[in-house]
């Protein structure tokens, strides 16, 4: 992408959260509508980064970086094609372990040839098909090679050593500055379906994936909002879509009226692993921006130069203020998932593994939140509701969106 010195380098940061990821499609659809991208010849983003379900959304958008309206349309289409009976298939017997798998070697091999028996709660094959066949990978790589997109970055957690690895496919001339943090690593290579499936492999729900010689799982466990990689390839303006709402109803006054079942507790674990780091990362970035503003206004030039040297030595990249536009759901997604499940419940076949799992996930929802349900409820109606909510949230902040993208109106493709 040609990007003159007067134009900001804009990064799109997509976080994780299972079925909640439809909200990201809604936000992007709202932005596309607001900016009327069908009439634009320019690209919206220089850099796209994604973790967990955000990685799958990221590669679909990267495939159409040169035609953003079409990319968003494809993304919405993928989410609204979800079917509960197809995309939520519990494999409860698989949890008995590998001993049974050894006796049944022909059972449930994934599209990549690796057995899924004894490895995860949910059948990952529908998402393997999505990653392999629904993403036009030739377009992804061609857009990056031509510079229509400067960087596509997908993050995953190395199971063996606990390091978060950012896999980056870069346009010619683009440099990724590695992080000095010993818990993070970067690998510059062509992004493939295995990277996406690894990033989206929520532990216990989906099987870890082999990339090269190592196994990887959901990158959101330590790194849910991959803002740092976007900054390390030069982004100075970030659109961040987080998947946890700031809902006033979630207070310390809420109490459980029944003992929390394991699935309810698993939902809280996933919140802590996948959603809480988002808020922490954003708070750190906001504090850092405020610190830079104060230093710029008060410190003498010599002191400011010294601070810049120390920050660059510590972080590996020059310090600069990063402008952000952050979208979060304005409604409680857990409550929304519960409402949709209640409407759908009577149409589900009783006694099936899917129904039993959903019933347990919703068991305490009347009193608190159905958080776990919102991660696994891969249902068309729920996805449409999240997409509509994302659109509404964008329209409610139309002036902010317009200001954020105003300088991009003259951005052209190579």
Q: What is the pLDDT of residue 282?
A: 74
Evaluate whether 110 touches 129 at the Cβ level (below 8 Å): no
- pLDDT beyond 50 at 101: no
Q: What is the pLDDT of residue 99?
A: 43
Q: How far apart are CA 375 and CA 258, in angstroms?
A: 22
> What does the H/E/C string look like for 248-300?
CCCCCCCCCCCCCCHHHHHHHHHHHHHHHHHHHHHHHHHHHHHHHHHHHHHCC
3-12, 144-153, 259-268: segment of lowest average pLDDT: 259-268
Separation in Å, CA 47 to CA 120, 181, 279: 32, 22, 21
212-231 mean pLDDT = 84
Q: What is the pLDDT of residue 157?
A: 94
Q: pLDDT per residue over 108-149, tens digit each?
A: 445 555 555 457 888 999 999 999 999 999 999 999 999 999
Cβ neighbourhood burial of 41 (10 Å; 0-12, 13-18, 19+)? exposed
Domains of the chain: 10-94+121-246+263-405 (3.40.1090)
Give the DSSP H or E segment for 62: helix 53-63
Q: What is the pLDDT of residue 5?
A: 47
Q: Is 24 helix (H, G, I), strand (E, B) or coil?
A: helix
Q: Beta strand 184-188 with 323-327: parallel, antiparallel or unpaired?
A: unpaired
Residue keyed to tokens 């099936």:
352
Q: pLDDT per residue over 66-90, tens digit each?
A: 999 999 999 999 999 999 888 988 8
Measured at the CA of 357, the angle between CA 352 and CA 363, to 5 degrees, comes to 120
For 367, residues 6+ apart whose C-beta sits below 8 A from its C-beta are 254, 255, 256, 257, 258
Query: Which of 276-285, 297-306, 358-367 has maximum average pLDDT?
Result: 297-306
86-111 mean pLDDT = 57
Q: What is the pLDDT of residue 413?
A: 44
- pLDDT beyond 80 at 315: no
Whole-number percent of the chain with pLDDT over 90: 49
């Amino acid at each position: 992408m040609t990007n003159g010195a007067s134009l900001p380098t804009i990064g799109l940061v997509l976080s994780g959260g299972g079925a909640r990821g439809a909200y990201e499609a809604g936000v992007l659809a709202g932005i596309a509508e607001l900016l009327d991208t069908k009439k634009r010849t320019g690209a919206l983003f220089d850099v796209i980064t994604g973790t967990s379900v955000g990685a799958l959304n990221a590669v679909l958008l990267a495939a159409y970086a040169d035609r953003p309206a079409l990319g968003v349309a494809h993304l919405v289409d993928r989410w609204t094609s979800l079917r509960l009976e197809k995309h939520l298939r519990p494999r409860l017997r698989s949890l008995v372990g590998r001993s049974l798998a050894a006796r049944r070697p022909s059972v449930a091999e994934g599209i990549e040839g690796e057995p899924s028996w004894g490895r995860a709660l949910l059948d990952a094959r529908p998402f393997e098909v999505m990653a392999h066949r629904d993403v036009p990978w030739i377009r992804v790589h061609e857009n990056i090679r031509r510079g229509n997109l400067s960087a596509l970055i997908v993050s995953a957690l190395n199971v063996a050593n606990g390091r978060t690895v950012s896999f980056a496919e870069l346009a010619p001339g683009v440099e990724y500055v590695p992080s000095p943090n010993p818990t993070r690593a970067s690998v510059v290579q062509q992004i493939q379906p295995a990277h996406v499936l690894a990033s989206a492999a929520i532990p216990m729900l989906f099987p870890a994936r082999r990339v090269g010689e190592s196994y990887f799982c959901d990158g959101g466990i330590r790194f849910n909002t991959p803002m740092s990689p976007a900054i390390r390839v030069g982004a100075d303006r970030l659109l961040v879509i987080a998947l946890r709402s700031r809902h006033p109803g979630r207070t310390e006054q809420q109490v459980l009226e029944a003992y929390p079942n394991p699935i309810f507790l698993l939902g809280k674990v996933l919140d802590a692993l996948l959603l809480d780091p988002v808020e922490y990362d954003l708070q750190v970035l906001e504090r850092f921006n405020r610190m830079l503003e104060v230093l710029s206004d008060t410190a003498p030039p010599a002191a400011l130069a010294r601070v810049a040297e120390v920050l660059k030595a510590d972080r590996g990249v020059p310090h600069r203020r990063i402008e952000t536009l952050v979208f979060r759901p304005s409604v409680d997604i857990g409550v929304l998932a519960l409402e949709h499940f209640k409407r759908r419940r009577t149409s589900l076949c009783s006694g099936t593994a899917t129904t039993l799992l959903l019933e347990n996930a919703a068991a305490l929802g009347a009193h608190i939140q159905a958080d776990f349900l919102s991660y696994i409820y891969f249902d068309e109606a729920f996805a449409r509701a999240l997409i509509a909510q994302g659109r509404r949230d964008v329209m409610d902040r139309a002036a902010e969106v317009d200001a954020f993208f105003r300088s991009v109106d003259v951005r052209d493709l190579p």
